[in-house]
Amino acid sequence: MKTAIYPGSFDPVTMGHLNIIRRAASIFDRLIVCVMVNSEKHPMFTAQERVDLVRRSAKDLANVTVESSSALLADFARSRGSCVIVKGLRAMSDFEKEFQMAQINNKLYPDLDTMFLTADNRYMYLSSSVVKEMGRYEADLSDFVPDEIMQDVLDRIHLINTKQEG
C-alpha cells in the first residue's frame, strides 16, 4: 500500500489545498494530510482546529486521514511508513523553496521522494494568507474556501477584526 504525506499549515485550508488533496488521493492508496507546526507563522487557528477543518473539507475521501505534527517532516513520514511527500506548486518561487526542502528531506530519509503537483490554474494565485487578507476586508470567499468550513473562517476573521478594533 502506497502512503503519501501532504504537509502544510492549512491556516485555513483553501480550495487550492483541497484540489491537491483530491488529486493526490486519486494517485495513492492512502494520503495523510499533515498539519505542520511552522515556527515562522502565527496561525489564525490552532493545530487541532486546522486538523478539524481539513477533516471536514475532505470528509468524502475515504483514503484521506488528517493528523498534526511538530516533528521534522522526514521523521513524520518515516514513522508513518511513507516514502512520498506531495507538494503543491503555484509559481516558480514555490518550486525553488520546495526543491530545497525535498533535497533536505531526502538527505534525512533517503527513501523519501517528493512529488510536485502544479496547482489547478483556478488556484494558482490562492494561498491561506490571501484568504485571510480578503476576509479582513469582508470579501466574498465562496470561491476560495470549502463550504464545509466557510462559517468557521468568517467567524474567526470577525473575531480577529473585533479584537484589533477594540
Catalytic (active-site) positions: 17, 41, 90, 128
Rounded Cα gap, residues 161 and 145, in angstroms? 19
Q: How many residues does the chain have?
A: 166
The C-alpha atoms of residue 113 and residue 165 are separated, in whole angstroms, by 46
| Cα 27 to the center of its chain, rounded Å | 17
Whether the bond into 7 is cis, omega within 30 of 0: no
3-state helix, strand, coil in the chain (%, to 5): 50, 20, 35
Please check whether residue 42 is in contact with residue 10, taking contact to mean a CB–CB distance below 8 angstroms.
Answer: no
Three-state SS at 66: strand
